[in-house]
Amino acid sequence: MDISENDKPNPNDMLSSHEYRARLMTKLNCLIAVLEVAIGKISKSMDLPGANEERLLKIRSNLENTLAICHRAKQTLEKTNSSSGRELAPREGDRAKMTARDYVELSSIDEYRKFKRMRPIQKEDLDAVDFEELARRLTES
């Protein structure tokens, strides 16, 4: 069965959908996190004895190029989003799914569960913070 040109979704129409852009942003963030982890692992592998440095350098270069493309795509998506006047935020159902970024940023499943139960930080929360006290506590530990 052939798909005619008229039956294909128009990418511009898809990008105007807040839901589609939110899914795209989530996928980009996950891909960025995975690429950053992979680059780190390649760098560690290069320090091992007997490592094929030439091959690892090529792999790292390809990963870094892909990461740069992802960062540019994310910036473009953010610009497109901000120009439409809407804020890109994950849907409530998306918050329940653990992403690759969660695996990278959080130290344990317990920490993930703790943060999953917490509500997002609101502007009012920031207004109530005593930054001097917070700085003192952070420098003591």
On the CB side of 121, CA atoms within 13 Å amount to 7
pTM equals: 0.50
Query: In this model, does residue 22 exceed pLDDT 50?
Result: yes
* Residue-level pLDDT at 119: 85
Spans of all domains in the chain: 14-107
Residue 88's pLDDT band (boundaries 50, 70, 90)? very low
What is the mean pLDDT of the segment spanning 21-27?
86
Residue with the larger pLDDT of the pair 116 and 89: 116
